[in-house]
Amino acid sequence: MWRLNTIFFKLLLISWIPGDIQGQIVNGTLRLVNTSNAYEGRLEIYYSGSWGRICDYGWDLPSAVVACKQLGFTGAHTAVVNTSPEGTGSFWIQNLNCQGTETSLEDCSHDGVGVINSSYCNQSSDDAGVLCKGPNDGEIRLIGYTQYFGRVEIFYAGEWGRVCKNGWSLNDAKVACRQLGFSGALAYWTLWSARGTSRVVLDQLNCAGTESRLDACTHGSIGYPSSSSCSSNSYVDAGVACEAPDDGELRLMDGNGYNSGRVEIKFAGYWQRICDWGWRSSEAAVACRQLGYSGYVRAATDWTIKGDTSFWLQGVQCQGTEANITDCSNVVIGYYDDYHCYSSSNDDAGVYCQGYLPGVIPPSTTTTTPTTTTTVPRGPRCYICSSTGISCSRSRNASSHSNFCYYGHVCYSSAMAYESYNLFYSSSTISYSYSRGCRLPSSCTSQEYQGNTCTGTGTRRVCKHCCTTDYCNGGAVDTSQTSNNNRGSSLKTVCFKVLFALLFIAFAWN
Ligand SMILES: *[C@@H]1O[C@H](CO)[C@@H](O)[C@H](O)[C@H]1NC(C)=O
Ligand SMILES: *[C@@H]1O[C@H](CO)[C@@H](O)[C@H](O)[C@H]1NC(C)=O
Ligand SMILES: *[C@@H]1O[C@H](CO)[C@@H](O)[C@H](O)[C@H]1NC(C)=O
Ligand SMILES: *[C@@H]1O[C@H](CO)[C@@H](O)[C@H](O)[C@H]1NC(C)=O
Ligand SMILES: *[C@@H]1O[C@H](CO)[C@@H](O)[C@H](O)[C@H]1NC(C)=O
Ligand SMILES: CC(=O)N[C@H]1CO[C@H](CO)[C@@H](O)[C@@H]1O
């Protein structure tokens, strides 16, 4: 009997939902009209047998909180004015002034039911609306290239929306990355190019940088960003690159597969290019060291095969003794200028490293590319690049980059012509690539500076030259030097076959 009473009492409680007793709607009941989702819309209130509008004159967040709670939500994010689409018919109340603790709107002070001043409540606009709180609000995710690198989306009103770039800064990016569980932010973007198509829900973020979530930062009205700069049809997405455990890793691409290539660097889980602007022997030395080679042969600019991503780095400045590229100065991630680094051009930094990675010996089937040797004429002039087979499609004005002299331009008197051979080994043959141009004496590698340095397997030898005086010496391949085996450590055949297979898998994977 007692139990039955309890159940009956519970049923009674459950059915005691204000506004609907036995199917009859009572004064003060609220409803959301014309909602695009379950959490927001225009408000209507019931009095004397009919639904009417609520005027947005006096409408504020405490009132919206009361309205949302009355509707069964936990609270409100935004008090919406001039709600669209607008309502039709008459307003019931205006000038609501809730404290936020009331249980229904009619408990709040207002000008009286049906008391409407048309100076404030225009029949063809001025509807009050709400965007109420829901579960998972404020969660964020990245849409882009990797889990660390993308444009930011944030969850409100039951769906993922976009974050507008206005006011977006590194501090905001730091908070976003921390909220995602990463240690910090490397860079931020205010013009993410693969823009989102969903609704822009948040803008004017202004984080101090110490918050643990984006929604704890100062921000604009949730769901109602500044209309002038955050149009959903525009490129307005805020983007971030968050710190990843393997930031700064290097790899060689589009080279001989063993010890040469253009250099790519990984940040935010994503491989991108390094621009050759400012790329000299000291940077090449660090890159080769970090990659695990015993040394470097030379730095290369304008790598013939260009990368197809953007650049992560430009103008990095190394002493030459650093362990990692990221230990060098001027490592500014993600920012490069179109003047020095064109994504669509061959502006990739490259290296020719010395030796091979431990245990890696190229198979004897390595293709060799015989190169004709040419005698280098004397004089401080660069060579017309078309004769070297290196693309000359870009004609940069050498005088605007005092440190560099590009192919096809006349050298300054202080620059020197050079001719350089790079060795590609196999167990039975040596092949080499060959390039020439002009550069400042200070950018010759130490080996080049010493003149002829010979390396080889002992059966055939190829040497390279760099100018040691104001003009080049004879550029013919010098076969007179004794050899200096350039291979990595000699391991047993079985061992290196396994390692080579691993290397092959690594390259295929990439
Ligand atoms: C409902 O509100 C109207 C307008 O204020 C009032 O005239 C009417 O008496 C109310 N009805 C009830 C049941 O409170
Ligand atoms: C409506 O508001 C205007 C402006 O505040 C005021 O001048 C006018 O007297 C008000 N009308 C009524 C009927 O209260
Ligand atoms: C109401 O607002 C609309 C649009 O702002 C305007 O065209 C109209 O003249 C206004 N009507 C009154 C009565 O103020
Ligand atoms: C250098 O970078 C590699 C990743 O390429 C990393 O494993 C290593 O710990 C770094 N070394 C130093 C000294 O920072
Ligand atoms: C390079 O630029 C300088 C100054 O802007 C100009 O005087 C010179 O003619 C240019 N040289 C070439 C080869 O375009
Ligand atoms: C309940 C309600 O007001 N529904 C309206 C939603 O908006 C459309 C037009 O936008 C109206 O036709 C409906 O009457």
CATH of the domain at 317: 3.10.250.10
Domain endpoint, select from 203, 226, 242: 242
Given a cut of 80, whether residue 309 has pLDDT beyond it is: yes
Examine the domain organization and report whether 318 and 448 are in the same domain. Answer: no
CA 59 to centroid of ligand 2, rounded, Å: 18
pLDDT at 351: 93
Which tokens is 29 given?
A: 């009941």
Answer whether 412 contacts ligand 1 (Cβ < 6 A): no
pLDDT band at 123 (very low <50, low <70, confident <90, very high): confident
3-state secondary structure of 467: coil
pLDDT band at 363 (very low <50, low <70, confident <90, very high): low
Whole-number Å distance between alpha carbons of 370 and 260: 17
Examine the domain organization and report whether 445 and 482 are in the same domain. Answer: yes
3-state secondary structure of 189: strand
> Exposed, middle or buried by CB within 10 Å (0-12, 13-18, 19+), for 227?
exposed
CA 382 to centroid of ligand 2, rounded, Å: 85
Mutational test site, ligand 5, from 399, 407, 412, max ligand atoms within 8 Å of CB: 399
Given a cut of 80, whether residue 425 has pLDDT beyond it is: no
Segments of 224-361 assigned E as strands: 239-242, 249-253, 260-267, 270-274, 295-300, 311-313, 350-354
pLDDT at 357: 83
From the CB of residue 444, how many other CB atoms can be counted at a distance below 10 Å? Answer: 20
Would 364 be classed as within a structural domain? no
Domain endpoint, select from 132, 150, 174: 132
Closest ligand 1 atom to residue 26 Cα is 13
Q: Are 132 and 39 in contact (CB under 8 A)?
A: yes
Closest ligand 3 atom to residue 122 Cα is 1
pLDDT at 429: 39
How many domains does one find in the chain?
Answer: 4
Examine the domain organization and report whether 445 and 474 are in the same domain. Answer: yes
406 alpha carbon, closest ligand:
5
Answer whether 1 contacts ligand 4 (Cβ < 6 A): no
pLDDT in tens, 315-356: 999 999 999 999 999 988 988 888 888 888 889 999 988 878
Tracing tokens 């690594």 back to the chain, one arrives at: 506
State the residue range of the domain holding 59.
Answer: 30-132
CA 34 to centroid of ligand 6, rounded, Å: 6
3-state secondary structure of 142: strand
CA 47 to centroid of ligand 1, rounded, Å: 6
pTM given for the model: 0.68
Strands 159-163 and 200-202: parallel
pLDDT at 364: 52
Examine the domain organization and report whether 394 and 479 are in the same domain. Answer: yes
Domain endpoint, select from 102, 132, 162: 132
Residues at CB less than 6 angstroms from ligand 3: 118, 122, 124-125
CA 83 to centroid of ligand 6, rounded, Å: 13
Nearest to 275 by CA among 189, 350, 351, 186: 350
